[in-house]
């Protein structure tokens, strides 16, 4: 894709622009939304082509909206553990963990990636909610020696099967031994970076955390130039691929009233560890009582959806509302409408059918296994 004539975008000065903003517009970004009080590119043309670019070659995505909450100080590890029900006692320096941040009721406030950069230095790489304020509030009465701040760090995601070859071109052979969910510092011609083998795509991929905002456009152009022989395209996070992979989106698939057990994320909760964390007592009660609803995969009958759902579509059983579709899209690879939904626990078994109340009328849907593609995540781990 060539460079396009620049177009002016604006939500007002209260919404921040990333160091890559002008570059994304030059490379064809047609639309933005707001995430963590920042612009995020959502449109580089046909979303189906963006999906094929991702799964066949590679795409570069501006995800500087993944703001970092940095925890430092002698008690940084204790404080990080206080925020999450996942046992962090074996999280090594240089390792990343997918974690949940829970409130006192066990509700999920965010589902970020935690990066341990040093013994007493952590980043929480956020989904879309204000965890900086939460963490600073918790710290006031935690009686722990920590500092909580938002550093000037701006991630890019390079995702897709060709991403490894592009990274070798940029960083040499040493990048190939960076393991899945591990990180390492790099310097690319004077550009300071933290690089992790992570991403929000279910594909092979890397996240490049830029630590000098003045070099954003330089970094973007270097990656696009290195990726040109491999078919690299500018892009945005793919709703199609993330639903295929069963990946969750905060505010769509969960919010502060959702607990980990409803999402089937029991593996991220360790109630038996000695360390305390916010929500531990509530999650013990929920585990003992059981959940009243569950998050499931659905196949929705009818014509191909023209785009992702923008409302929560009601799910009905015998005329009664028993749940809602949280995320839905048409998968061109699977040639079916696939969705994630929250339903009453008694209707969560595979094969259960519902009526779906959609904008143009009702259709039917069936509970199926998820993820819909590559269920063991062999592609991302490879």
| Pairing mode of beta strands 353-358, 313-317 | antiparallel
Q: Where are the beta strands (DSSP E) in 258-335?
A: 293-300, 313-317, 320-331
CA distance to 77, 184, 269, 297, per residue, from 93 (Å): 11, 10, 21, 35
How far is residue 342's CA from residue 367's CA, in Å, rounded to a whole number? 11
Pairwise CA distance, residues 155 & 147, whole Å: 22
Distance set, CA 53 to CA 62, 223, 241, 285, 345 (Å): 16, 16, 11, 45, 37
Distances (CA, A) of 339 to 254, 272, 376, 381: 14, 34, 19, 24
First to last CA, the chain: 28
346 is known to lie in a ligand binding site: no
* Residue numbers belonging to the annotated binding site: 207
Residue ranges of the binding site for substrate:
207
């Amino acid at each position: 894709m060539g460079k396009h004539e620049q177009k002016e975008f604006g939500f007002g000065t209260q919404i921040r622009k990333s160091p890559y903003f002008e570059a994304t517009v030059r490379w064809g970004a047609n639309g933005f939304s707001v995430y963590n009080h920042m612009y995020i590119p959502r449109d580089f043309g046909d979303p189906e082509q963006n999906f094929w670019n991702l799964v066949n070659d590679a795409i570069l995505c501006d995800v500087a909206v993944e703001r970092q909450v940095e925890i430092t100080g002698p008690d940084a590890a204790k404080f990080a553990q206080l925020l999450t029900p996942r046992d962090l006692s074996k999280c090594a320096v240089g390792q990343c963990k997918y974690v949940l941040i829970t409130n006192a009721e066990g509700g999920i406030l965010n589902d970020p990636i935690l990066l341990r950069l040093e013994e007493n230095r952590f980043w929480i790489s956020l989904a879309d909610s204000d965890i900086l304020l939460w963490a600073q509030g918790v710290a006031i009465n935690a009686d722990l020696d920590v500092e909580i701040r938002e550093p000037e760090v701006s991630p890019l995601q390079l995702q897709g099967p060709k991403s490894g070859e592009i990274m070798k071109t940029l960083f040499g052979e040493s990048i190939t031994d960076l393991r899945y969910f591990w990180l390492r510092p790099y310097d690319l011609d004077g550009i300071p970076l933290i690089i992790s083998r992570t991403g929000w795509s279910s594909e092979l991929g890397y996240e490049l955390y830029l630590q000098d905002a003045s070099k954003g456009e330089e970094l973007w152009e270097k990656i696009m130039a290195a990726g040109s022989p491999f078919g690299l395209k500018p892009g945005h996070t793919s709703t199609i691929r993330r639903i295929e992979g069963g990946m969750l989106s905060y505010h769509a698939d969960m919010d502060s009233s959702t607990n980990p057990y409803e999402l089937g994320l029991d593996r991220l909760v360790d109630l038996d560890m000695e360390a305390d964390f916010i929500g531990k007592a509530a999650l013990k009660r929920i585990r003992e009582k059981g959940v009243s609803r569950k998050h499931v995969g659905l196949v929705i009958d009818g014509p191909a959806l023209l785009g992702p759902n923008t409302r929560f579509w009601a799910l009905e059983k015998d005329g009664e509302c028993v749940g809602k579709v949280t995320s839905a899209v048409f998968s061109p690879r699977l040639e079916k409408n696939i969705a994630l939904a929250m339903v009453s626990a008694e209707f969560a078994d595979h094969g259960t059918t519902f009526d779906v109340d959609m904008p143009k009328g009702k259709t039917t849907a069936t509970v199926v296994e998820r993820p819909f593609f590559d269920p063991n995540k062999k592609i991302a781990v490879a």
